[in-house]
Amino acid sequence: MRACHEAAQTEMVTVALRRVELRQNQQPLLDYIDLKKITLLPNTSGSAFAADALRQARLAAAMGNSHLKVEICGDVQTLLPDPIETLKAVELIKKNSDTRHLYLMVYTNDDPVLARRLADAGADCIMPAASPIGSGRGISNESNLIILLSMMKGRLPVIVDAGIGTPSHAARAMELGADGVLMNTAIARAKNPVLMAEAMRDAVKAGRAGFLAGAIKPKLFGTASSPTLF
């Protein structure tokens, strides 16, 4: 894991509050995360209701964390997020005096309208799933993601979360204008995890550069690349 973090130039690692003791040196997992270089992002994975997410947010705040990933599962088979409880959770956390200071990074589906509602409720970062978590299918609905990115442009950062399976998936997300990608399974279950981490790093950089460079618009018919007039 540590080698993959270094190879991918990881900037943030998310861990479930239900599964890991967030105080340093209390659990072996944290011993392998370089907290001098990597920001720890506790998440509310395992929550099924907004009230439970609020309780975990208060725990994260009490432990001195400044960031929180709001993650509420709505279905145990698909592991898709619950949009209603997720929105409620953001509203509750931002209204609670103990947790309102937390920088909320919200895991959601790729619904542009829901993303806007989450932003209105106080979310600081939108994290839409490209496809179901761990599926490796890549971006299932590119049109929705493009609309979502357009709505959030200049307002909130967007990190594509869940479903990335190959470097090309990561590159495409960045080409569309995402500010980053979050992944685990694609690297952790690769035959060579460190090599895959390096590939994902390069794909993210290439996709971002492609976005910033301003790619040409696709056309139905061919266009001569050499000038016809001199």
Q: Annotated active-site positions, please?
A: 69
From the CB of residue 169, how many other CB atoms can be counted at a distance below 10 Å? 24
Alpha-helix residue ranges (DSSP H) falling in the chain: 2-8, 28-31, 50-62, 83-95, 112-121, 142-152, 167-175, 185-188, 193-213
CB neighbour class for 30 (10 Å; exposed up to 12, middle 13-18, buried from 19): middle
Q: How far is CA 17 from CA 21, 23, 54, 75, 148, in A?
A: 7, 11, 12, 19, 28
